[in-house]
Chains A and B, each alone.
Chain A
Amino acid sequence: MAETAQFLITGVIAGAAYALLSLTWALVRKVSGQLFFVSGCMVVLGVLGTNALTERGWPMAPAVVVVVASAGAVTLAADVLILRRVARQTELSGTLVMLALAFAMEELLSLGFGPEPRQLAPAVAGPPVSFLGASLQRQQLVIVAATAVLITALVLAGRSRWGKAMRACAENPTGAMLVGIHPTAVRTIGLIIAAALGALSGVLLGPVAAMAPASGFLLSLKGFIAAALGGWGFLGATVAGLFLGLTESLTAGYISSDLKDVVSLALLLLVLLGKDSIRLRRVGRVRISDDRREAPVSTHPATD
């Protein structure tokens, strides 16, 4: 019982991390239709950047603010210089550019901070807490609580006028312009929020998981798998992130830790095999101009 509880708790913690990552993917997908392969790099930047500053004597809070702002600034620069130029090109172009950015950022992180894994000091000190016979680090409680707060905030923001404006821009940029929304600005804001969320996730996860620049890509993939499994919505991505974390943890616990990533990648294969459901800019979107030709019959008496 205690063993199972331990696996479940570990799975929930990993799932919370994947949920955060998948939210950055879902957000970027909503605002730009692009695949956010740099999400893992943002998480690593959060860990390595905060570690570097705190080792130089910075207090934690300003270090986190600077690192999160840096992630936003890097994304702003990437968007202005590269991403928005390929935004109207093919899906393949956008995907390749994002992948290239992810690899370039990994190299830059390695040059800037070194290739070794780093870890952060826990935000809260103290002995582990016992829960259903399992041992739970206090930092893990912080991760779960902070994840819940961030996800709630993001879901609520998605239902606000600005959240709807973001969806509108991704669905129909011309239509958005015609109602006075500036799609490029909205898109950039969404990308910056996603990058900042990624870096903040790194700060949360840093005390429980050592991370190196090379960790970024696998983290990105986990976020992609969860977001795609969850249907690219915020709530779906969250649930799928938790599912992925639990699946990995139970596989590692009951079968072999070597198979943990194999299970994730098998899920990725399942996602890719069902690619029709994850094609860019198609999820939940109805193409008005096409539909008009075969508009559903209305039951409303006042309509045609």
Chain B
Amino acid sequence: MSAPVLRISELVAGYGAADVLHGIDLSVGGGEIVCLLGSNGAGKTTLARCVAGLLKPRSGSVTDGGTRLDGLSPSQRARRGIALVPEDRGLFGGLTVADNLELGGFRHGRRHALDRLSLVVEIFPPLASLLPRSAGTLSGGEQQMTAIGRALMADPRFLVLDEPSLGLSPGMTRQILTALRALADDGIGIVLIEQNAALALGVGDRAAVLRRGRIAVTGAASTLLDDPMVINAYLGGRGSG
């Protein structure tokens, strides 16, 4: 496994008086996909928000290559190469797909943006014909491709995806997960937050199961596919070992 580029240590976070995360430890290296599984309310999105800087942890740290990210705003983290594709996709619905993608590479020059756009269209070919369309008129799958494409425009080193399969057909989900595997193989570290455990574990290298704000199980993705607790809780008990 590659050296960790992003490490989450003893992270405690929450909203108001309630803690949602109770001391999370997780790391992801360049070139690997770490799946984060768990039911609704387990704290997966809260963790993603802490990594992206949208939520300030109560304690613990997020480090990038040993550098603590405390105090860095979401835009500063994005400029460091840490990209989040949020659950609601965060698109600019009144702008075109091309504009959304262009803004994804906002911190880079126009030349770089054109190069990245070619790459993004190579990864998600349907985007080529969607460029003039308003992002708000796209279907769920098209929006998800645009959202991931927009994150890729910034040439991230680290990508966090919060429920990318939400509302998508199985075919579209497989297409997106295959693209994520290819991106990881190119060196990007990916945290894949998913409720669809079977699909996520199929492309992931490692996985962690979050339960009530704590890591309940962690290990290689292939191992977790055979873990009775994971099978019962997230794979509908299929296979039974």
Task: State A285–B93 Cα separation when bound (angstroms).
Answer: 6
- Interface contact B83-A178, CB-CB below 8 Å: yes
Query: Given that A171-B93, A175-B91 are known contacts, is A181 also in contact with B138, CB under 8 Å in the complex?
Result: no
Task: State A95–B135 Cα separation when bound (angstroms).
Answer: 29
Closest to B124 in A: A302
Q: Which of A151-195 touch B at CB < 8 Å? A: 161, 164-165, 167-168, 171-172, 174-183
- Interface contact A288-B172, CB-CB below 8 Å: no
- Interface contact B78-A179, CB-CB below 8 Å: yes
Chain A residues with Cβ below 8 Å from B135 are: 286, 288
In the complex, whether B54 has a CB less than 8 A from a CB of chain A is: yes
In the complex, whether A126 has a CB less than 8 A from a CB of chain B is: no
In the complex, whether B75 has a CB less than 8 A from a CB of chain A is: yes
- Interface contact A289-B73, CB-CB below 8 Å: no
Chain A residues with Cβ below 8 Å from B78 are: 177-180
Flag the segment in B6-14, B97-105, B201-209 that touches A.
B97-105
Query: Given that A300-B126, A300-B130, A302-B175 are known contacts, is A288 also in contact with B89, CB under 8 Å in the complex?
Result: yes
**By CB atoms of chain A within 10 A, which of B94, B134, B151, B169 has the most?**
B94
Task: State A67–B86 Cα separation when bound (angstroms).
Answer: 44
Q: Which of B128-147 touch A at CB < 8 Å? A: 129-130, 134-143, 145
In the complex, whether B150 has a CB less than 8 A from a CB of chain A is: yes
In the complex, whether A57 has a CB less than 8 A from a CB of chain B is: no
Task: State A302–B107 Cα separation when bound (angstroms).
Answer: 30
Chain B residues with Cβ below 8 Å from A171 are: 92-95
- Interface contact B74-A295, CB-CB below 8 Å: no
Q: How far is the CB of A93 from chain B (nearest CB, A)?
A: 22
Task: State A14–B207 Cα separation when bound (angstroms).
Answer: 66
Task: State A300–B130 Cα separation when bound (angstroms).
Answer: 9
Chain A residues with Cβ below 8 Å from B94 are: 167, 171, 284-286
Closest to A289 in B: B88
Chain A residues with Cβ below 8 Å from B134 are: 286
Query: Given that A167-B94, A286-B134, A295-B139 are known contacts, is A304 also in contact with B75, CB under 8 Å in the complex?
Result: no
Task: State A93–B116 Cα separation when bound (angstroms).
Answer: 42
In the complex, whether A56 has a CB less than 8 A from a CB of chain B is: no
- Interface contact A178-B103, CB-CB below 8 Å: no
- Interface contact A174-B90, CB-CB below 8 Å: yes
Task: State A135–B188 Cα separation when bound (angstroms).
Answer: 69
Enumerate the 6 nearest inter-chain pairs by beta-carbon distance, A residue then B residue, closest first.
Answer: A286-B136, A175-B90, A286-B93, A304-B141, A298-B139, A304-B169
Which B residues are within 8 Å of any A CB, using their own CB? 52-54, 73-75, 78-79, 83-84, 86, 88-95, 99, 102-104, 106-107, 110, 125-126, 129-130, 134-143, 145, 150-151, 153-154, 166-169, 171-172, 175
Selected A-B contacts with CB under 8 Å, 15 pairs: A161-B110, A171-B93, A172-B90, A172-B93, A178-B75, A179-B106, A181-B75, A285-B94, A286-B136, A300-B142, A302-B125, A304-B139, A304-B140, A304-B168, A304-B171
